[in-house]
Amino acid sequence: MFDSLSEKLQATLSDVRARGKLTEDDLAKAMRAIRLALLEADVNLAVVKQFTNAVKERALGQDVLTSLNPGQQVVKIVADELTELMGGAGRELAFASRPPTVVLMAGLQGSGKTTACGKLALHLREEHKMDVAIAACDLQRPAAVEQLVKVGTQAGATVYEQGTDKDPVDVAGWALEQAAGKDVLIVDTAGRLHVDEELMDELVRIRKRVKPHNVLLVVDAMTGQEAVDVAQRFAEKVNFDGVLMSKLDGDARGGAALSVRTVSGKPIMYASTGEKLGDFQRFHPDRMAQRILGMGDVLTLAEKAQKEFDESQAEDLERKIRKGQMTFDDFLQQLKQLRRMGPLQGILKMLPGIGQQLGSLDVDERQIDRLQAMITSMTPEERANPSIINGSRRRRIARGSGTTVQAVNQLIKQFGQMQKVMKQMQQGKMPNLQQLTGGRAR
């Protein structure tokens, strides 16, 4: 979502960083470029003015222009102000001292609220080891209850529902009674095509009945400034604690995520980043600011790796590498774990400096699919001992994976080189450039 904005901000700040000295005219020119980039990203006009004025005021007020490294300091100021723009520190739900913690979900129809309930439930189960229940109180939209039951079950949550012919306020109260002994109760409510009095009245009545510890507003990031307007109107009518931003992986311009906190006064607490239930995370403004500016996001990458990589398997793999016994099965396992962390291009952009170098490079995910296809077309014996893979076996693997014999040859050759390099590194020897590049060094 932030790719276009990120590219323009990085280009502007790269020019600022490259200058040994900065004048007020240089700073003014940079601010104009940043202002234009933010406006093109559909950021609220008042928010843009506030942001650029804050950056300029800090840069001029801290004698940045006369410092030894003015460019780097301006970049830091922009990163700090972007972080503050999106809410400062990351926020988490307020958990009740006596369970269950009640979370009321609000939002317009089509914002992804029902799916967000399932994603939040899975997040709380995996990250906080909590027993979660969901109350089906969206009785307006056709098949909403069935959808919630399906999503909630997939997330491992208990779903309380009484069909569609009940009063949603009564269903919410009944679900709260049923949730005794649960850690969290998430209450899904009905959405509308727009903010109206009927919707607000129902939300107010449900809120009075279940007395939630947290009220989350689900906002569709793809709707741009409309999402900001919705957040502002909800803030005026029904007080909420934070925003759950859905569809943050979309191709909209990102203005909603950069505007909603300033306009509504409420922070973004969670972000939905894909279609799968696991594509969900706490929103960290500082990390997002760093990613936008091409500084990477090592902390989120480490959290993803820790979540997907099994510690005992990693130790077992390390022992095999030390002994030079890594197999294609081990390699396949690593590929699958890497894929579970998300799109490869997104992972690379979390590495400091890599995002800036990637630019508009399109990382071909299909190459990993081809590698997996070739490995799974091998027999268990072949995966354990690649040296037995002769010409006829290679032809069979190529046919089974829909690739070519040349591709299979290249995979086996590179796997052998990787084994040698890993063994040498474990022995404290530094491999030469020709080994690292597969014999293509000049």
What are the pLDDT digits (tens) for 210-240?
999 999 999 888 776 777 778 878 887 778 9
Per-residue pLDDT of 405-433, as tens digits, reads 999 999 998 888 877 776 665 555 444 43
Q: What is the predicted pLDDT for the residue at 229?
A: 78
Rg (CA), the chain: 26
The answer on pLDDT for 315 being more than 70 is no
User: Got the DSSP string for 403-430?
Assistant: S-HHHHHHHHHHHHHHHHHHHHHHTTPP
Asked whether residue 161 carries a pLDDT value surpassing 80, the answer given is: yes
Which pLDDT score, from 0 to 100, does residue 89 have? 76
> With the C-alpha atoms ordered 331, 336, 337, 339, is the resulting torsion angle positive or negative?
positive
Which neighbouring-strand residues pair with 104?
187, 215
- pLDDT at residue 40 is higher than 70: yes
Q: What is the pTM of this model?
A: 0.66
pLDDT value, residue 358: 47
- The first and second tokens of residue 164, run together, are 């569609």
392 has a pLDDT exceeding 50: yes
Give the pLDDT confidence score for residue 244 in this predicted structure.
93
With b for 16 or more beta-carbon neighbours within 10 A and e for fewer, the 27-66 pattern comes to beebbebbbebbeebbbbeebbeebbebbbebbeeeebbe
Q: Which residue has the higher pLDDT, 293 or 159?
A: 159
pLDDT at 86: 85
pLDDT for residue 322 is more than 60: yes
Alpha-carbon distance of 309 to 273, in angstroms, equals 20
- Which one is predicted more confidently, 294 or 158? 158
Mean pLDDT of 377-383: 93
The reported pLDDT for the residue numbered 295 is: 61
Q: What confidence score (pLDDT) does residue 293 get?
A: 76
Determine the average pLDDT of the residues in 265-285: 87
Average pLDDT over residues 126-150: 92
Homologous superfamily in CATH for domain 101-295: P-loop containing nucleotide triphosphate hydrolases (3.40.50.300)
Q: How far apart are CA 17 and CA 64, in angstroms?
A: 12
pLDDT over 90 (residue 279): no
- The mean per-residue pLDDT over the stretch 119-141 comes to 94
Phi, psi at 142, each rounded to 5°: -60, 135
DSSP code per residue over 383-404: HH-GGG--HHHHHHHHHHHTS-
Query: Domain 3-85 carries which CATH code?
Result: 1.20.120.140
pLDDT of residue 435: 43
How large is the average pLDDT for residues 349-378? 68
Give the right CATH number for 303-436 from 3.90.550.10, 1.20.210.10, 3.30.310.50, 1.10.260.30.
Answer: 1.10.260.30
Per domain, the residue ranges of the chain are 3-85, 101-295, 303-436
pLDDT digit string, tens, across residues 179-214: 999 999 999 998 866 667 787 888 889 999 999 999
